[in-house]
Structure 1
Amino acid sequence: MPVTIADVPGAVVAGMTIDAGTVESPSLLQVGKPNGNGGRSDAADPTTLSDVYFRVGGPHVGKVDTALEVNSDDVLIDHTWVWRADHGVEPFTAGVSGDTDRWRTNTGRVGAEINGDRVTATGLFVEHFQTYNTIWHGEDGTTVLYQNELPYDPPSQADWQQPDGTLGWAGYEVADDVTRHRLYGGGVYGYQRNAGPGITTESGFEVPETPGVRLHHVATVHLDGVGIIRHVVNDVGTQADPSNQGVPEYVVDHPTP
């Protein structure tokens, strides 16, 4: 069962690590009930998550659908690390360093799902989930500093491909129906080591093309391994691949002013 916070203003959760168990949980931390909070949020007294960490696998098997689910409005996320273990000390053997076993055993579909409006994240770190690491549905969201590593361990491109044929999932996704969103400073990094000739991700960041959704100073980087990130934002930006390992591919503003 997840840790849950009611739809109330002023709740504070701080200095906490939430570890996934061997039986899949729908979430590890759920803030507010799905489908809204009935107007009980308070921007002057927000529910706050400070230094809250999530771990799915690593020292042992872990399973979750969505690690962090924020449904309430006016939530402040003040430094959180949401991590699925695509490397660890479990005795896995299939694939590079046991990655194929790990992909099939340490399961985590989504890292952070933000459904509430006016949610602000300062220091949002989400890594290695098996579809979207972060997906933002709420309006008027703001992120200041986002860091993501795509999963190391997909066994094949078929395992890292959307049903419509899109290659991979963006590390930061703003849903198509969102009209207002801001991201200041973000990086999506690729290190796929488990499948040759390589795992391709179409875009590091994926957002609707609308004037109210703006990204400032974002980048993709090929860290190591055989993976490719074709674009930084949507179809904009230079490919990050082994030919430019360790070199950030930047988009200063999207859309261009």
Structure 2
Amino acid sequence: MQKRRMVAGLAGGALTVSGLTLSVFVGAPSAVAADDTNPDFGPNVTIIDPSMTTEQINAAIAPVAGNPRRQIFFKPGTYGSAAGQNDPSTATGIVNTTLNANTAIGGLGAQPNDVRINGALHVEAAGSALGTFARTLTNLSINPIQPGEDPHTMRWLTSQTAHWRRIDLRGDVDLTNPAPGTFAFGNVIANSRITGKLDVGNGQNTAEGQGDQTNAMYYTRNSQIGGWEGFSSKMVFSGVKGAPKDNFGPATAKSGPGDKVTLKNTPVTREAPFLYVDRGHYKVFVPKARTNTSGYDWDLNSRNGSSLALSRFYIANPTATAATLNQELAKGKNLLLTPGVYDLDAPLQVNRPDTVIMGLGFAQLNATAGLGAVKVGNVPGVVLSAFSVGGTGTASDVLVQIGSGGAKRGGSEKNPTTISDVHIAGKAVTAEVINQDHVLVDGSWVRTGGLGGVAWSDPAGSHGIVVNGDDVTWTGLWVEHFKKTQMTWNGDGGQVVFLETEPPYTPPSQPEWMNGAKEGYPTLKIADDVKSFRLDGFGAYTRFSNGCVCFASSAIETPVKKDIVFHGVTAGSIMFPVPGGFTKGGFRHIFNDLGPAVDAGLDSGNSRLPYSDTFGFTSNLRIALFPTKADLGHGGHR
């Protein structure tokens, strides 16, 4: 274990393990010259090459105590032995590791198949998997060989911020775990191919008894899969070849409930940028935006995007100051953030179109002076990707702001500002504000953070996301636990594919959690003057962990118009026990003041029909489509 720690934290030179040498790349205090043939990415980036033995590779990628932020890259080549692929119990010489938190593994090929892994890069959980965050796989081909699993199967038991991009997995994916109490809350799979099936487990409650403990939600887009098994809260697919048919809604006299929301195409996509090696030179490929797409596409051609030389990037280490980073941005440089925590006493100011800020190994930007972490002006084509944002000390008004606002919001339909895998959890009144038009956000978890000791009456942690721009698209979003509204949508032409929301855990009491005369706050508020909006695949879940029997008057508050459409909506109350008993309360209605309540008190502490159709929820309701003609006929009120 001591040797493994040294791999991630060595100050320079090389490390010898069992007589073999591992190269470790080390950085200067704040930045290094962008040598594109042998770049120095700092002490928390490890690069694996085919000359290394499997023993050496497994030592280099093994979990490290303390879960430091780290990036592991594989150069093009084949790694590990495939000899045990038909009987994993006999496998030897495979590449095999559990990914701990804050670990990102990627291939440096132009195509995923340029890096072939025989073995398993897997995620396990002994009990609940609701905390298996922050680990990713990118641009790899995997021939899954995992001892303890079926042949050609790899386990990936995760909840949020554990995304797959450009993955070619030649087999099945086990998204479950036989261990008791193993719940999970999903993941994002994008631009990938999985030749086998994905299994989330069967969580359906029936008259015969409860369902299994399952992975509650998943979003898969622009991919190809060999099949999908299981039932749970909601499974959303857009542009996925091999996806199950659209089937979402409550049980009927003829069939059971449906949990699948399936779209033929994804309305707007722009894949995340990635680092690769081209004839010995490191480059960053930045994809273009596309509309109405399906299936995976891994080609690096001018139709799909452009390659940027490493010399166009400032390679930053965590000791870099906000002043230094902003100076480099002002010079026209892009930023490559190596793993670690960057304490910023001022926000990064992005005012050049097409600027790229890209993180490695879960790099984090912390706003330390209450001024926010990232501010993008009214310029199009900016790409923010693969880093986290936090806030400490004085609360910021906003942590991430896209567009400065005003009458001329900027933005480009063909070249939208794009935010991919940027996760936010920090001390702020509002976590994120989108003022620019045509922004695309793909794969994001936004939640309260750093609020220990903050009074309920303090404005910190009030709002999650506010969208003021028109024609803004979100795909794959979790937004959770803000004191007031999780997501407020003021712009026209918005579209969302997959949205999960949760109210705050700890409102002190119902009288202290009121929105004027209304109980609580909606998790999603569509402004009264919005003319058009569409959402496919929505979930809202309550879990009041301090004993408050609290209700929100509705999960979604929206104008009822024919061009504001919701497809595949569920709301529930999470069953898991809390101090002093089980969680109670819920939503008085899902939409406005329509329909029945989602009330955990009706069957508190249980998960069974007729109150819940999914294990893990005391109560839940499903709606296939809103509004119906009947809803439009009476204005959306009872």
TMscore range, shorter length: 0.7 to 0.9
Superimposed CA distance per residue, residues 168-199 of structure 1 (whole angstroms, 9 cap, x where no aligned partner): 11111101110100010100101112244x00
Residue 213 (1) aligns with residue 556 (2): no
- Are 2:533 and 2:564, in contact at CA under 8 Å, matched by a contact in 1? yes
Match of 2:411 among 41, 48, 52: 41
| Partner Cα distance (1:19, 1:50) in 2 | 16
Q: How do 1:1-257 residues align onto structure 2 when only pairs under 5 Å count?
A: 1-2=371-372, 3-38=374-409, 40-56=410-426, 63-85=427-449, 103=456, 107-163=460-516, 165-196=517-548, 198-224=549-575, 225-242=583-600, 243=603, 244=611, 246=617, 247-257=619-629
- Are 1:193 and 1:227, in contact at CA under 8 Å, matched by a contact in 2? no
Amino acid at match of 1:113: V
- Are 2:474 and 2:497, in contact at CA under 8 Å, matched by a contact in 1? yes
Q: TM-score, normalised by structure 2?
A: 0.36
| Partner Cα distance (1:158, 1:66) in 2 | 23
Tell which deviates more after alignment, 126-135 or 241-250.
241-250
Amino acid at match of 1:230: R
* Correspondence for 1:60: none
Shift of residue 248, structure 1, vs aligned partner: 2.7
Amino acid at match of 1:231: H
Stretches (4+) displaced over 4 A:
none
- Are 1:37 and 1:71, in contact at CA under 8 Å, matched by a contact in 2? no
Count of aligned residue pairs for this structure pair:
237
Amino acid at match of 1:129: F
Percent of counterpart pairs with the same letter?
32
- Are 2:385 and 2:422, in contact at CA under 8 Å, matched by a contact in 1? yes
| Partner Cα distance (2:493, 2:526) in 1 | 11
| Partner Cα distance (1:104, 1:161) in 2 | 12
Amino acid at match of 1:256: T
| Partner Cα distance (2:562, 2:407) in 1 | 25
Tell which deviates more after alignment, 118-127 or 224-233.
224-233
- Are 2:429 and 2:459, in contact at CA under 8 Å, matched by a contact in 1? no
- Are 2:572 and 2:586, in contact at CA under 8 Å, matched by a contact in 1? no
Q: What is the alpha-carbon root mean square deviation over aligned residues?
A: 1.9
Q: TM-score, normalised by structure 1?
A: 0.86
- Are 2:390 and 2:449, in contact at CA under 8 Å, matched by a contact in 1? no
| Partner Cα distance (1:211, 1:195) in 2 | 40
Comparing both chains, which one has the higher relative contact order based on Cα–Cα distances under 8 Å and sequence gaps of 6 or more?
Answer: 1
Amino acid at match of 1:122: T
Shift of residue 117, structure 1, vs aligned partner: 0.1
Unaligned 5+ runs, structure 1? 57-62, 93-100
Shift of residue 85, structure 1, vs aligned partner: 4.0
Amino acid at match of 1:207: T
| Partner Cα distance (1:102, 1:149) in 2 | 20
Q: Secondary structure at the match of 2:461?
A: strand
Shift of residue 79, structure 1, vs aligned partner: 1.1
| Partner Cα distance (1:107, 1:195) in 2 | 22
| Partner Cα distance (1:116, 1:193) in 2 | 35
| Partner Cα distance (2:385, 2:588) in 1 | 37
Amino acid at match of 1:32: G
| Partner Cα distance (1:211, 1:148) in 2 | 24
| Partner Cα distance (2:459, 2:398) in 1 | 14
**Higher radius of gyration, 1 or 2:** 2
Unaligned 5+ runs, structure 2? 1-370, 576-582, 604-610, 630-638
| Partner Cα distance (1:85, 1:233) in 2 | 28
| Partner Cα distance (1:36, 1:125) in 2 | 30
| Partner Cα distance (2:521, 2:405) in 1 | 24
- Are 2:485 and 2:525, in contact at CA under 8 Å, matched by a contact in 1? yes
Q: Secondary structure at the match of 1:107?
A: coil
Q: Secondary structure at the match of 1:159?
A: coil
Amino acid at match of 1:141: G
Shift of residue 67, structure 1, vs aligned partner: 0.5
